Amino acid sequence: GKARDDLFDEAERILREERRKAGQVAQAAVNEAREIASETRDAVDDAAPGNKSATEVAADEAEKAGERVAGAAQRKAEEVDLGKPKG
């Protein structure tokens, strides 16, 4: 009846809201990854420091980049209350 229809409508609204939030989180992570890629390209143009190979420097930077991307995603998830539907 109507109560069931109302519950389905609410569930669909929550799904749409959470999908939108998840998209925002993913976009924040993509944006941060693009910024990191740009920064890394610039850094690679410079010489690798003294006793580290370019590969070692790249590995270090990749680890830092992963942490930054995860942090950006976490901040956005908290900002939009991902996983905490209203209602």
**Are the CB atoms for 21 and 82 separated by under 8 Å?**
yes
Q: How many CB atoms lie within 10 A of CB 44?
A: 13
What is the mean predicted confidence (pLDDT) over 15-26?
Answer: 96
Euclidean distance between CA atoms 81 and 70, whole angstroms: 16
Say which residue, 58 or 29, is predicted with more confidence.
29
| Amino acid present at 49 | P
pTM over the 0.75 mark: no
Asked if the model's pLDDT at residue 80 lies above 90, the reply is yes
pLDDT band at 5 (very low <50, low <70, confident <90, very high): very high
In tens, the pLDDT along 61-70 reads: 899 999 999 9
